[in-house]
Structures are given as C-alpha cells and as structure tokens.
Structure 1
C-alpha cells in the first residue's frame, strides 16, 4: 500500500532535482555568446577569405582553395586532439580555471593574434611571388585554425557539461545557433556599412580595397573579444566527472560510466551521426564559401551585393533558428530535419533553373534566403542529435564533437578544393551549379543519415537495453 506514495515521492524528488539543474538566464546567455568570436571569424573565413585572396591578393582560385584546405586540415587534426586532451588531460596551472575554460582561453588568444594577418598584405614584404603566398599565409592559418578548433570543441562540450537535462541542452544549443545566425548576419551588415562609407562600392574589388577588409577585421575582433570575456566569466563548468554522475543519478537511478574509445568506435550510430553532421555542415559551409563568388563572378553584381545578399541569407537563418528548437520539441528531430531539407532542395532546384525572367538581384535575394533558412534548421537538428548520442557520457563530449568536426573540416576542405580545381576558365555558370548540386546533395545525405539513427531520447547511446524494452524512449 505504500508503493504508490513512494513512487509519487520519487517523481517529486526527480522534479526537484531537474528544477535545480535548470540554468539561470545569465549563464544561458553567457553560453550563447561564448562562440560569438568564432562565429564572426567563421563568417570572415568562409564569406570573404577566398574573395580577398582572389581580388585583393590576386591569387588564383586553385591556390586560394589550397590555402583554405591547409586551414581545414589543421582544424580537422586539432579538433579531436583538443577534444581528447580537454576530456582527459590538463594544462597544468591554467587548468585551475577549468579543463574546458583553459582551452577556451588559449583558443581565443590564438585567434585574436592571427586573423588580422590573414586579411592583410604580407607583413614587411612589398611583393611576393603568387605561388609562395599560400606558404606565408599557412603559418597564420594553421595557428588560427588551432585556436578556432579549441574554442569550438570545448564550447560544444560545455553544453553537456553545464546540465544533464536534454531540454536544457537543446535550449543552450539553440541559443548558440541563434547567436551564430546573428554573427553571420552582423559580418555582411558591418561590411555593407563600411562600403557605403568608403568610395568604390559600385565597382568590382581591386587590391586598393584591402583597407576595407582590415576595418572589418578590426570591428570583428573588438566585438568578439568582448563577448568571449563575458562568456568566460559567466560559464561555470563542473570539473569532476563524479560530481556529474551524482547530478545525473536522481534522473537515471544509476551511475553512468565513461565509455572507452573502443566502445565509441564500435557503435554504428557514431558513423551515422558523423554522416549527418558532416552533410549538414557541408551544406552551410559550401553556401558561405561560394555565395559571394556566385554573386561577383556569375551574376557580376557590384561590391555592396557581397554584403547585402549574405545579409538576407542570415536574416532568414536567424528567424528559422529561433523556431528550430521549438520544432524539435513538438515534432521530433527527424521531422524537423525534413522540414529543413525541403527548402534546401527547393533552393537548389531554383538555383539550377536560374532567374529566368526575374531580375538577377531579386533572384539572388530569394534563392539565397531560402538556403539560409534551410541551413539553420538543419544545423540545430544535427547538433542536437549529436548531444543525444553523447547522452550522459559527458566525459567524452569534447572527443565526440571533435570527431564530428574532424569529418566536417576535412570533407569541406576537400570539397572546396575539388570545386575550385575543376572550374573551367570563363564558365560564368559554374558557381551556380556548384551551389545547386553540392547543397542539394548534402541535404539529402543528411536526411538519409538521420532516418537510420535510433537513439534513446534522454540517456543517449549508453542506454540501448532500455531502448529495446521501451520503444517510446527512442528519439523521433
């Protein structure tokens, strides 16, 4: 007769524990802005780096792609190494501020000291042979990507460190993606203002326009450093895995154990999640990399278009990121991903067909906005699915995200190099087809991958036996 009251008391106890695990809004916002510097630099990297190398440094498209590939490979190698180190190692006395926050500090320092050199003529060198410029830039690019990878990896892992509640993690990641959209919106907006305040915005870019990019970098560094400082002081990580397990115990009624690397690599779902994450990231990165080349080389629009059209892309992305988290809670991850795939594939079909009788500017605004909305929904869903795979094994959180990022960076860099290498001379429609085929295929691959993933909705991959006995616990 005492069983029912006891069960009610246990449920109430779990509810109280969950309430205690809900983060204050200052910590949520602190986490949300913690990746702002990275996001601003990422927008610079993908939106304007190839454009800067081609129009300002006069580097060939293939050499520019090689330089970008060097950075992507450096990022791909650094990410899992930093993931392992931040999960299981320490940085000596610096680790006193936290195993994640120590890497967060080092990563931000590496980014702030290198990115100004990447958007400037060679330091102290009047002229340098075109074929040697990638080697000069590679030094700064590698250090930059090391720092960028450190911040990205530990910031993603902090979402699982800060709270064991899946709903709270999804909220944190949605905030992160909202600020990501705002940042990618801010960069072209700032660049548009710079162009309107300086002469030559109605012309094509020339080497004399280098100062415009340098002003943009200066503004990005100022905003990014401010946000990183605020985040560093408001994010409170848990430094002991045993304490994490104790926090999780009331919700799961058992201790959670860290999986070994062998156990992780033996899980088939790891490769499915990696395919989902890589396809989704490839969609967004190819869009960011080639949208401005499409605008300037294919449509032949003036300078201000390379700021105003990406602005429409990220306006759509910002709006869709706000509703993505709610969609996941209402209809599940698979249905949400499908809702993101449809506009992505439709945009690719529209891009392939072309503007027809539409004005090229109006066409570019429309199709690129559709791409932006799709990209944001796909990204929120893919990252959320990755946190479900991690589940309560937060001791391996950075390692798993590191593996995801390794695949993402490597394949993205190779894809950009292949696209630039096969580009025929004088083919003005090439970048149109590159966007249409690559983005459309990436969205479809991601959809196929997520359809094959069946993970417990609360406890992640470590609870396979519970999933087998309770089909309702499987992620939808």
Structure 2
C-alpha cells in the first residue's frame, strides 16, 4: 500500500515551495559534460579500441578498469560529501579532472608513445590508466550533482522535475555527441588506423568543449544548496551507513536502479556493433540510430517534467518503460538483416522506454532519501557503485565471450545469433522484467505533490 500525506497547507514551509523554471534548467545543465563524455565512452570506446588493434577481451579490460574505479570512487566521495558538503566545489573539481583526462582516453596510448613500444599489454595498461582517471573525475561530478537534488528542495514534484530535467539534458548531450560524430565520420571517411585515432580525438575535444560550456552555466546559475547547512547548524547528527542498510526500500531501489542502468548502458555499448556487424548497415548508422533513441528520450523527458507525480504514477510509468524494453529487446534479438531498417522503429520504442525507466528510477532514489539529507550523498554513491560495477562486469563477460572464435548459438527458428544480439536483445529484456517485479514490491512513501511555479514547456 502506498502512503500519501496531504501537505497542501497555506503555511507551507519555504523549503517545500515548488521551484521555478530557471532553477530547474540551470541545475539540469550541470551534468552535461559527464553525459556527453559518458555517451562517447559507452557508444564508441569498445569500437575504438578494437579498431586500433586491441582484442575484444583487452578492450573490455580497459572499460572494466574505468567502471571499477568509478564504482569505488562513488562510495568514498559520497561519504566525504556527507561529511564536508560544498557540492559545487566537488562538482567543479570533478569536471576539471574529466576534461583533462578524457582526451587522453581517445587520444592514443600515451605510455606507448613515451616508451616507444606498442605491445598489446602496454596498450591495455596505458588505456586502462587513463580510463580509471577519467572515471574517478566522472564519479565525483555525478555524486555531487545527484545528491544536490534533495538539498535544493523538499518539494516532491520539484525533485522529480529536477531529475527529469537532468535526464533531458542527458538526451541533449547524447544528441550533441552523435551530431559531432556524424560530422566527423563524414569529414574523415577513412578506415585507416591513423584516421580512426584522429576521428575519435576530434570527437573527444569537441565534446569536452561543449560540456565545459554547460558546466560554466551550471556553476553560475545554480546556488549552493542551503538545506544541508541548515540541518548541520541545528547540530543534527550525520546518518550512519547502518541506517540505510536496515531499510528494505534501500535494497529494492538499489536493485531497480542497477537494473535500469544495465539496460541503458549495456544496450548503448553494443548498439554500434549491432547495426554494423549484425545488420550490415552503413557507418553513418553508428550515429543516426542512437540519435533517434535519444531524440525520443528527450521528448519524453521534457513531457515528464510537466506532470504531477505520486508514488503510484512513478511505479506505473516505470512499468510501462520496462514493458516497452522487453518487447524492444525481443525485436532486436529476432530482427534479420534483410529487415534491418526496422531498427529505426525499434529505436523509437527504446528511446521512450529509456526515458521512462531512467527518470522514475532516479526519482525512487529521491523518495528513498526523503528528508534525511545528512546521508543523501552516501545513498547516491552506494547505488552508483552497484550500477558501475555491474555494467563493467556484464560488458567484460560479453566481450570476453565475443573474443572466443566461432561462438554462436542457434535459436528455435533456426537463426544464428551473435553475442551482440544476445547482449543487446535478451540481457536488457531480462533486467527489465526483474525490475518490474521488484518495483511492485516497494512501499514508497510520497507526499501529495504541488505543481511547479512555471511549466517548463511554456
């Protein structure tokens, strides 16, 4: 049963007042650098590394090293932010680290150049080191930005709108990346190794520049949240980790968030391989198919910002998104190359499903935290830990299996399916199904929402 308390009172505290458009938009822009580099990371890293000569297993090791560094950083950063505060300072420091290190991930093997050696082991180590550094900065920025939601306002509808706006900017970041990639692939239309490195170097540099512009907008337009300082000034003790571990809802939200990120990240990482190798589409499809997904996600994310939210609606919209992914995953799994252009129709449903699942999953985190602001960063950090580690291990397992020669499996229809089809079609579908089951076991406590001060679509 969902418990809802009516707070529609004329004496409502200022901290529960709905936010205006400018506050929500400036906050949403703060994750743009992380989002555009993350999109490049999951969409093109494995493809880039295999194109420059690494085996699928070594390429997966590079990605896994970054995911592991990201996972453990989120735990420690979450604890430090809870102790120290200063969200914007952490955000700025993480953004600087991301901007400096990301170009080196796609800029070639730096240790190989210094040592004048290009052995496979040295290349793997070199790329792994910079992948880990990049992900440390990425984790710092992510945790500080996500934890700010609960410290900006106590209004539940505004919190969902902040999460939805953040997701909308994620879509803008992804679309920007694919526009940049499509332009670069068109200009440097060559498959030689030198041109491949040049392609991704330009993509990385342009992505960093665009993302940094939005970080500046965020730092200027968003005030340091005051709710945490107000609680600390009242000498309220910091919430221990054990407080969260005793809550069944913590484990339920962690499971749903982890499964949601597995769905979105694993599918994004394998999509380029799928359209090129399995469907036999042109090189431009590496940008156009993902772009359709994120256009649809962007539209849905913007629409979601205009809604009044309740616990029932969060569960319902998440379920709709997960069901859409189940059908989409089955479609991806059975789609023959002769009908390859049906991938554009599937891209629409995948985009809608991604937006519905992501926005509502992040909103579940916000409901879990509630008004317990002295432990909010740990919650976001620990839940991100499960997300990053599971994604890294899943992709490593899939790529390691892909590295084994002639690994194919036959389905009942007599069709052969690559590991890419299995990973892109069945894995997200299974995760989506499990997440539906877990979602409907939740007992979400959510106050009756107030509308926003200004509709964002006006």
Which structure has more RCO (C-alpha within 8 Å, separation ≥ 6)? 2
Residue 89 (structure 1) shift: 2.7
Per the alignment, residue 298 of structure 2 pairs with: 318
Maintained 8 Å contact 1:258/1:393: no
TM-score normalised per structure 1: 0.85
Maintained 8 Å contact 1:256/1:393: no
What SS is found at the alignment partner of 1:332? helix
Q: Note if 1:182 corresponds to 2:161.
A: no
Distance 2:201 2:246 in 1: 47
Distance 2:119 2:169 in 1: 40
Number of aligned residues: 428
Per the alignment, residue 156 of structure 2 pairs with: 166
Q: Indicate the larger mover: 298-307 or 204-213.
A: 204-213
Maintained 8 Å contact 2:18/2:157: no
Q: Deviations over 1:427-466 (max 9, x none)?
A: 573211211111101111211111111021039xxxxxxx
Q: Paired residue for 2:202, among 215, 220, 233?
A: 215
Q: Deviations over 1:360-396 (max 9, x none)?
A: 1x12222233222211110101000110000001121
Maintained 8 Å contact 1:37/1:228: yes
What SS is found at the alignment partner of 2:309? helix
Q: Note if 1:283 corresponds to 2:263.
A: yes
Residue 325 and residue 276 in structure 1: after superposition, are their counterparts in 2 closer, same or farther (change >3 A)?
Answer: farther
Distance 1:76 1:66 in 2: 15
Distance 2:308 2:262 in 1: 21
Residue 226 (structure 1) shift: 0.9
Per the alignment, residue 456 of structure 2 pairs with: none
Distance 2:232 2:366 in 1: 17
State how 1:1-80 maps to structure 2 within 5 Å: 11-14=9-12, 17=14, 21-55=17-51, 57-80=52-75
Maintained 8 Å contact 2:325/2:428: yes
TM-score normalised per structure 2: 0.88
Residue 196 (structure 1) shift: 2.2
Distance 1:26 1:149 in 2: 26
Residue 129 (structure 1) shift: 0.6
Distance 1:246 1:453 in 2: 33
Q: Deviations over 1:267-296 (max 9, x none)?
A: 111111100000000000011100011122
Distance 2:26 2:42 in 1: 25
Name structure 2 gaps, 5 residues minimum.
1-7, 409-416, 449-458
Distance 2:126 2:422 in 1: 32
State how 1:75-474 maps to structure 2 within 5 Å: 75-89=70-84, 99-123=86-110, 124-125=113-114, 127-200=117-190, 206-239=193-226, 241=228, 243-244=230-231, 258-326=238-306, 329=309, 332-355=313-336, 358=339, 360=340, 362-423=341-402, 424-426=404-406, 427=408, 429-458=418-447
Per the alignment, residue 411 of structure 2 pairs with: none
- Between structure 1 and structure 2, the one with the greater Rg is 1
The structure carrying a bigger helix percent of its residues is: 1
Per the alignment, residue 454 of structure 2 pairs with: none
Distance 1:25 1:323 in 2: 14
Residue 347 (structure 1) shift: 0.5
Maintained 8 Å contact 2:279/2:336: no
Name structure 1 gaps, 5 residues minimum.
1-9, 91-98, 248-254, 460-476
Residue 298 and residue 328 in structure 1: after superposition, are their counterparts in 2 closer, same or farther (change >3 A)?
Answer: farther
